[in-house]
Structure 1
């Protein structure tokens, strides 16, 4: 959407990455000083509660020789630290051991790091954990594979949950505005310390960055396997659909849409007025069709379509990944505006964002677009408004309780984690 961004104010030009939401990583939001390396002494002291246990995630590198891991485990046991799980990531020199630890509540992160260092661990990274981390790695990976198999739009979200806090970007083989695409990537992908590059199933490049912690070859292999699974399964979206009756009595069907709806979407563009297209795309009406391949791709978000009883497409709603936030966008054919279609689409898009653990959604429109403003107000959520040069950005903060339903395997993971935490 770079062409659109260039026509908007400077603050908008930053919003073009369409990365999956940070909240859907499986990692918790932590203060900056706890996100990498030993925690700050004062903050660890404030959180330490004697008599209670604390969960920690830790990575450290040990020598690849007999007795190295045993020495580390013995040192941890000497401080009454329980090892709940252990994963090994072999390197060319040494091994990265990833632990989930339960330590006495009074033990600070700096003390734990010192224990590990004295036992031979190097390049130690540590952060607080919670019950979600108690689920074993095979169960988590199988759940992510099932999630990806059911819906192609889940691939970027699954990658982020697999790899923790990271930035994921996908560049199409042919940019929306034309010009040169991203450089080629080997079939097997490329791993460079804190950056991995994978060949996207439909062309282009998926780039994953995690500056605070280098990727291991094991993580790279897992990510590559997930992308390969997605490529083998091909384009797919859930086939569920809902038939709704509008207040006036007409029936509409709401369903997921993808690139197979391209021609129907172009036909809807032809039936829309120049004003409607201008409100949606913020630029020349003639450019509208160029963005559909991007918008309908599950790699950049999710799309809902509205069709009539005769099968005609009359509305599209998009949920687009954009870093820590998520954009919602609507296009309703003129004859179907002011009939509740946009509000129905927006409610469903927001529910999908909540299921993905997004903290907020925002809509970019024009101050004169009273229909979009009314639809956002109809959500019943706290709203923030920002207006600049006639462009209006409305941000809705999602309530924690509005998370919708979750896949059964995610519910099972949480229940298992809670049971282990109580033991």
Structure 2
């Protein structure tokens, strides 16, 4: 989830200016992934579009998530399915979302690898579909919808931090924010915006610009939130030993708001330079945002405990809209022992399990330790620097980009 307004204003995690200039490149990348056809876009006709997406026997294939809106009349779905069949397109799954006199039909399709999204969209448009939207899918989408929803509910039931991830997996590419304030009794559906009561207080705002939400999706999302509210706060209790290069052992575990007092004590033992490198702002304000950073609504936190039971390091994986930030804080006396690198590897593994495409870290250009830890991941890295602030982005997996 993205940071709350207070954290954005005070530049606690990444810095307000950094957030703004970092949006351009990711937005451009996201724009390449989807193709949408609105009413009035013409084309070469049904026969030409069908030929363009037809799959030859034995040829490489591609998966697509597709939505198209048709009138709720007998035969409309049959025409769409017939057009897909004429194009040699396999329909793997189909869901229908009633909207009064219209229906949104959602497909998972398989075509030839060479198929163009614009041709697939035109094929559906010529068959009577409107507001057609096409996006590349992957093997994770092959799970049928009831099984996928049950799996998401199971994950959310085991860990409070899973709720935003479960909502994103349920609703597709979207941004999720946790907004403090009064908690509404019920949620609301407003086109491309969902508002849901947050069991932790305030509301959860889900936004998806490329296609409006349907009442069916709203009902599913609301059910996940209700499950979270009934179960209360829950954090996995596993503890893992980490042996440092010198042979000394520490413990790594998940952390939450219950660790606030121990985290504040660690802050008190950290130098001004260490806190400045982590928070990129006034040191005196660092303590105020620990509760925010430890909240499972905004991400996951790993804590490192010394043999004496003191908290000596924190690693945060923060849901920043539809991106993911990794941030580290290691107490001065425990630095240069491999703790930061070990935490970063574990955070990256967690991001990969959550199907994040990349993880970025924001630091000062002089923070060679964080840069070295990012390089130690052995992943493709992108560096952006402005006015002494360095953003290093690690790519976790090739982005599923629709061919153009």
TM-score range, shorter chain: 0.7 to 0.9
2:383 is equivalent to residue 377 of structure 1: no
More deviation, 94-103/209-218: 94-103
Query: What's the secondary structure of 2:234's corresponding residue?
Result: coil
Match for residue 98 of structure 2 among 90, 110, 123: 90
* Contiguous gaps of at least 5 residues in structure 1: 23-27, 174-183, 401-423
| Aligned pairs, number | 380
2:156 is equivalent to residue 148 of structure 1: yes
2:275 is equivalent to residue 277 of structure 1: yes
Corresponding residue for 1:5?
11
2:230 is equivalent to residue 253 of structure 1: no
Distance 1:40 1:340, change over 3 A: farther
2:387 is equivalent to residue 389 of structure 1: yes
Match for residue 294 of structure 1 among 292, 295, 302: 292
Distance 1:247 1:216, change over 3 A: same
Query: What's the secondary structure of 1:165's corresponding residue?
Result: coil
Distance 1:122 1:382, change over 3 A: closer
Task: Please give the alpha-carbon distance, in whole angstroms, between the structure 2 residues aligned to 1:356 and 1:39.
Answer: 39
Task: Please give the alpha-carbon distance, in whole angstroms, between the structure 1 residues aligned to 2:42 and 2:32.
Answer: 10
Corresponding residue for 1:303?
301
Q: TM-score, normalised by structure 2?
A: 0.81
Deviation at 1:139?
0.7
Match for residue 109 of structure 1 among 113, 120, 123: 120
Q: TM-score, normalised by structure 1?
A: 0.77
Task: Please give the alpha-carbon distance, in whole angstroms, between the structure 2 residues aligned to 1:93 and 1:258.
Answer: 47
Contact 1:280 1:365 in 2 (8 A): yes
Corresponding residue for 2:167?
159
Distance 1:159 1:77, change over 3 A: same
Any idea what the Cα deviations from partners look like across 1:12-66, whole Å, max 9, x if unmatched?
Answer: 142899xxx99xxxxx978356256689879998765544576554433444455
Deviation at 1:280?
1.4
Corresponding residue for 1:205?
203
Corresponding residue for 2:32?
31
Deviation at 1:10?
6.5
* Contiguous gaps of at least 5 residues in structure 2: 1-6, 399-404
Corresponding residue for 1:328?
326
More deviation, 97-106/368-377: 97-106
Any idea what the Cα deviations from partners look like across 1:145-199, whole Å, max 9, x if unmatched?
Answer: 11111221121111111111222222233xxxxxxxxxx5632201011111111
Query: What's the secondary structure of 1:235's corresponding residue?
Result: coil
Root mean square deviation of aligned Cα: 3.6
Corresponding residue for 2:402?
none
